[in-house]
Structure 1
Amino acid sequence: MTDPAPFRLTRLAAGGGCACKIPAGQLEDLVADLRGLDHPDLLVGLDHGDDAAAVRIEGGQAVLSTADLLSPVVDPYDWGRIAAANALSDIYAMGGRPVLAINLLAWPVDSVDPGLVPEVLRGGLDVAAMAGVPVAGGHSITAPEPLYGMAVTGLAAADRLLRNDAAEPGLPISLTKPLGVGILNNRHKQTGETFPEAVEVMTTLNRAAAEAAVDRGVRACTDVTGFGLLGHLWKLCRASGVGAEIDQDAVPVLEAARRSLADGFVPGGSRRNLAWVRDHVDVGAGVTEEDLLLLADAQTSGGLLVVGEVPGAPVIGRTVAGPARIAIR
């Protein structure tokens, strides 16, 4: 008699990590007519899908506010670490410094051992401590599937925010983390195989890259999460009124993700991402459907996509004058 397969939280998740986002096109339709109170101190709001909201305060500063939560992608402790790094990334992607976080937790208390919750929260606490950010309480509910994340408050110089609508043509585009974690999370969910390199990518903070971008005078940046590199890049191009050219051979990709893609592991979110942007993409000779799926792969806690150069990060393309289209060569 064989031992039963070990219990995995990922079996309870409808999607994996940021791949469980509402599809980008559908989300934009849902919020198209929703606008809050116009306020003279609101610097960044809903208009361009930026990573966090920004409000001007005294002393030339801006308060940044964001919230993010994920379904399970790995074991409880690492899931907590990944979810925290992912939420903190929204502040870094705006050029800010996170100063406070609170937990957001949903748990099926009648069907999944609540004793796993401290492990999830400990993972989040450890990453927040690494970032130098206090975690002060939070909010929890019962739900059909487990979800965890954080609401994060940050500070930034009001005149040095990194935004989606500030890209100019003729600048390099850098990517600070490799792609492919969505594909590897999908494989883990289906098979239980573990990929330490994916966990390492997802738990690495974007703090150093953000600080370097601000120091170099970068104005446009976003992070690559559930809408994939192509989705987030197209949103940035659309907001800024520029185009982009991408050299697919320069884009860093986890080798295990290439192998897993060849074996047929693709998140549904990645396919939806590609369908959403396909009409805005010009594909060069030699670029395959598999290449496009990697570029559209739904990342969890991915890297920064920077219009400018960041030390140690590969330059994967450049912005160009013209309509908001992406050429892939």
Structure 2
Amino acid sequence: MTLTRETPVRLTQYAHGGGCACKIPPGELEEVLGHLARPAPGTGLPLLVGLATGDDAAVVALPAVGGAPAQAMVSTADFFTPVVDDPYDWGRIAAANALSDVYAMGGRPVLAVNLLAWPRDVLPFDLAREVLRGGLDIATEAGCHVGGGHSVDDPEPKYGMAVTGLAHPDRLLRNDAGRPGVPLSLTKPLGLGVLNNRHKATGERFEQAVATMVELNRDASAAALAAGAVCATDVTGFGLLGHLHKLARASGVTAVIDTAAVPFLDGAREAVRDGYVSGGTRRNLDWVTPTTDFGTSDTDTRLLLADAQTSGGLLVAGEVPGAPVIGHLVPQGAHTVVLR
């Protein structure tokens, strides 16, 4: 039966997962990509960031033209199943999440194209229009053009964007540039995954989660660059522990985290206590366990630190004004991450 716009629709019920929690598990993904990190010959454009360290986006250096300043092109794509029931909010969240990869590299997004999968015989197209409107509004807020895109008929709704941005080739934020002695800052609180999972299960709406997910990482990126940071990543589907593990491994350091300093959204601990933990979060925790010293942290804290975020904040090696310092980098030890 095809639904009409007047029929109450819960978009999250049409997806097996939600948001970035539906990502392929990090260990499985690395196994697939392990032999693909090689540059294409003869392109003429130096690849500055590729597959090697699993960074947030790919970057190539652009040729100088006349007296124009040096530039690099940043390219990324991100899409996922509904993370909230409201189509407009889903569009805004998915767009902010896709744009975040450019900000996480120290760039500014300039052009995006939509990626839409839609069950055309099940869900009305005016819902799809609301999703696209949400994405357009966030891109407009970011000063980024939306120039079309691609759509397919799919049993499961999915939405996101492919985004192209620009950056200075010598002012990138990379996940392999962390150095011992540098503090770690986190620009958004954790807990988005468990609150979204509770929303999917119960229909409860968490305004604090929506507000956090639609917030652009633009200002955080600019502040990190202004403070002289050279290393960062955004915290999304692999959780804080997963993305921090990748950063520490790529940089050849160990990250020490003060668990008492990590900010969490209101209601996040209660959601974990009540069992609203996604399979993606549990897979994240399983993946990092062999390389993490958990200290005396309890199970709920470990799950929150591995919580699969959607459109989370930036994790910056450096101090960012207004963002809490949650730890620091030290010389490489037996673990990539140590909790204190």
- Compute the TM-score of the two structures, normalised by the length of structure 1: 0.97
What is the CA distance between 1:28 and its match in structure 2? 0.4
1 CA distance for matches of 2:157 and 2:260? 37
2 CA distance for matches of 1:149 and 1:176? 22
For structure 2, which runs of at least 5 residues remain unmatched after alignment? 1-6
1:32 match: 34
Matched, 1:314 2:316: no
- Amino acid aligned to 2:293: D
Query: What's the secondary structure of 1:299's corresponding residue?
Result: coil
1:14 match: 16
Matched, 1:193 2:204: yes
For structure 1, which runs of at least 5 residues remain unmatched after alignment? none
2:73 match: 63
**Identity value in percent:** 64
1 CA distance for matches of 2:124 and 2:197? 23
After superposition, residues 198-217 of structure 1 pair within 5 angstroms as 198-217=209-228
Over residues 151-185 of structure 1, what are the superposed CA-to-partner deviations in whole Å (9 max), with x where a residue is unaligned?
10000000111001100001100000000010011
Matched, 1:243 2:254: yes
Question: Which segment drifts farther, 267-276 or 107-116?
Answer: 107-116
2 CA distance for matches of 1:124 and 1:36? 32
Over residues 263-314 of structure 1, what are the superposed CA-to-partner deviations in whole Å (9 max), with x where a residue is unaligned?
11101100000000001111122x1011000000000000000000000000
Question: Which segment drifts farther, 38-47 or 217-226?
Answer: 38-47
Q: Supply the RMSD in Å over aligned alpha carbons.
A: 1.1
* Contact 2:39 2:47 (C-alpha < 8 Å) held by counterparts: no
After superposition, residues 153-168 of structure 1 pair within 5 angstroms as 153-168=164-179
What is the CA distance between 1:36 and its match in structure 2? 4.3
- Amino acid aligned to 1:314: P
2:3 match: none
2:184 match: 173
What is the CA distance between 1:115 and its match in structure 2? 1.9
1:271 match: 282
Over residues 75-108 of structure 1, what are the superposed CA-to-partner deviations in whole Å (9 max), with x where a residue is unaligned?
1000000000000000000000111111000001
1 CA distance for matches of 2:209 and 2:8? 21
Q: 1:72 aligns with which of 82, 106, 124?
A: 82
Matched, 1:118 2:123: no
Matched, 1:48 2:53: yes
2 CA distance for matches of 1:7 and 1:257? 25
After superposition, residues 218-233 of structure 1 pair within 5 angstroms as 218-233=229-244
Query: What's the secondary structure of 2:244's corresponding residue?
Result: helix
- Compute the TM-score of the two structures, normalised by the length of structure 2: 0.93
2:293 match: 282
Matched, 1:298 2:300: no
